[in-house]
């Protein structure tokens, strides 16, 4: 039996780097839904990129208080370490969406783009 496709969910595009050697380009999106949040990663040139959805709890370390070292290279490349404290609070159930948007706007002078992805 096929899985039922859910309605696409909104992701905030928080990083989209320029081209260059691995891990560039990298794109990172966030679907803020408390402890059920997901991050979307796309890594590598568009013709041969790899990507997927990763649960927030996987992106955080075992204690849930910082970044899982497995994601350090991508967060370094995308200059996303500012996001980690907000992800920790999001994982704890806080609604930090407005703070994420505000912090992004302070860094980039505009709101983050939105993309829609179906989470299956």
**1, pLDDT greater than 60:** no
CA distances from 96 to 11, 33, 37, 44, 81 (A): 14, 10, 12, 29, 16
| Structural domains of the chain, count | 1
Query: The domain containing residue 83 runs over which residues?
Result: 12-109
Residue 30: inside a domain: yes
Residue 99: inside a domain: yes
Please report which confidence band the pLDDT of residue 51 belongs to, taking 50, 70 and 90 as the band edges: confident
The tokens for 116 are 């829609």
Report which of residues 7 and 108 the model is more confident about.
Answer: 108
Residue 48: inside a domain: yes
Residue 97: inside a domain: yes
Residue 62: inside a domain: yes
N- to C-terminal Cα separation, the chain: 14
| pTM of the predicted structure, to 2 decimals | 0.89
Residue 114: inside a domain: no
């Amino acid at each position: 039996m096929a899985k039922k496709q859910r309605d696409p969910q909104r992701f905030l595009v928080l990083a989209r780097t320029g081209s260059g050697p691995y891990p560039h380009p990298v794109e990172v999106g966030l679907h803020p839904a408390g402890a059920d949040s997901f991050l979307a990663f796309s890594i590598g040139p568009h013709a041969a990129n790899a990507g997927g959805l990763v649960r927030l709890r996987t992106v955080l370390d075992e204690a849930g208080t910082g970044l899982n070292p497995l994601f350090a290279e991508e967060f370094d490349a995308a200059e996303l370490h500012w996001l980690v404290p907000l992800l920790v609070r999001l994982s704890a159930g806080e609604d930090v969406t407005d703070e994420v948007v505000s912090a992004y706007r302070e860094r980039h002078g505009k709101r983050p783009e939105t993309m829609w992805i179906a989470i299956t």
